[in-house]
Structure 1
């Protein structure tokens, strides 16, 4: 079994000193080490709630196909696994909506992946992908009462088409504004080989954070992503503040080792301002190459990077 996860995980490290001087040094080092962990613990205190706190979901059903769904040219969901979706699937997409107003959606439909992880060559007569965007406020509207603001379905296929893509748009009335990758550098204009070298190095560094169970390093890498995620989902309670740490403490200890960084390619999103690595081998097609091996199954950690200004190093944005 695989788990695609959006948060980092950790275990605590304990240091022992014999002298009171050593204890004071340990306390100072811990305070220094835990800067971003503590920032994560208090992050939600700065999050606002409003008179209306709309959440946006994408709801979709895929049959006999693989697919990728993008909002504002950012991949919000994808499936290249064998089989059909088990009924209508739901994914929240607030963190991919940076501003109120018009939002773009794109769907890419590929031939079905077989049980051997090898894709067919053509979309079949059974292929279909149905997508809805719905809006509502958690706690005030039942999930089945969320308002539909957009819907699209693929046309019938006759078995002669290898690929299908279509676009649309919907209006969002979110009360927040996220900077996200909007001011980032257009990476498509950079030297591709140099960019890929930088992306690989940063991805491998993040992979090492998981291997070393480095909570502070993961917290630092994910802080801006977590801030914007919590803003988009209106998470501002004490429980919300602690959730990231609670989740990491409960799961990182299960990691036995990290899979090697291999069989990947670089892909640009966000109108050329966001970059990531995805696997190219059939078994993990399109997945992040940051993969943890655990007794209960694999955990996969997607990371997306942007360059905030010319000459600056890449940073995690989602």
Structure 2
């Protein structure tokens, strides 16, 4: 197959779900609405061909200590050609047996899969192992990005936006077989001027990719920062930024890579 696009299928009932690809949290479902069914594209987390890994974590609803008896999970992986004319089942979709649900605080299903892609993204392959760094200093460095990014969005600074996200978006373009183009001011909604940051003590430090990636996380969001509207009403507009940082070499500042 030429230019495959890999998708992870999740069908779940009466539970919360987190999906990790190659030790990076890429998808979460924290809404207590009964069911979810998604095909989630994962090419940006596949740096090159070879053995990859996945982990699906099933969690109970927030006010419960264990899983519901009627919690269910189906997973699968497939690749479709860029044109959409071909499809290959990489991991046949099937229901996962979850034994003794009422006794489990969570359940994890994980395993390997093979991906064959025509590109090689550098990503975080040679990045610094952040597990070896002082956690308080690392957290403080990431939190500095909160005000930096808030300023970019409230001032519609497209030049700085392209500097911050340039490397990430170039690798996204490679992973999805498109040509990279710098963003234009249209990426900024007019209501972004009224954004405000959440208190820093709400965030906790999280590490991924065996310590090569770091971010901060709210309990019910993917890693990154959430900015709320200054006035919370039906006209307000907030934004959640999914962010993973890496350090290219010892002593270098953190940069956005995903």
TM-score with structure 2 setting the length: 0.89
Once superposed, what is the RMSD of the aligned Cα atoms?
Answer: 2.1
**Does the 8 Å CA contact 2:22/2:45 hold for their aligned counterparts?**
yes
Report how many residues are paired. Answer: 250
Aligned partner of 2:53 among 104, 128, 134:
104
Greater RCO, 1 or 2 (C-alpha within 8 Å, sep 6+): 1
Q: Distance in 2 between matches of 1:200 and 1:221?
A: 15
Which one has a larger percent strand, Structure 1 or Structure 2? 2
Partner of 2:25: 75
Moved over 6 A (4+): none
1:149 pairs with 84, 87, 90, which one? 90
Q: 1:286 to 1:71 in 2, by over 3 A?
A: closer
Measured in 2, the distance between the counterparts of 1:164 and 1:304 equals 25
Q: What stretches of structure 1 of length at least 5 have no aligned partner?
A: 1-50, 113-117
> Distance in 1 between the 2:96 and 2:2 partners?
33
Q: TM-score, normalised by structure 1?
A: 0.73
Q: Deviations over 1:166-216 (max 9, x none)?
A: 321111110100000111111011111111111111233112211222111
2:181 match: secondary structure? helix
User: C-alpha separation between the residues in 2 aligned to 1:56 and 1:261?
Assistant: 34
Aligned to 1:170: 113
Bigger Cα Rg: 1
Matching residue within 221, 224, 227 for 1:291: 227
> Which structure 2 segments of 5+ residues have no match?
none
**Counterparts of 2:176 and 2:10 in 1: how far apart (Å)?**
20
Deviations 1:204-236 (A, max 9, x none): 311221122211111110000000000000013
Task: Say if 1:286 and 1:138 are closer, same or farther in 2 by CA, change over 3 A.
Answer: closer
In structure 2, C-alpha distance between the alignment counterparts of 1:214 and 1:267, rounded to whole Å: 28
- Contact 1:56/1:92 (CA < 8 Å) preserved in 2? yes
Task: Tell me the equivalent position of 2:208.
Answer: 269
Q: Distance in 2 between matches of 1:120 and 1:255?
A: 36
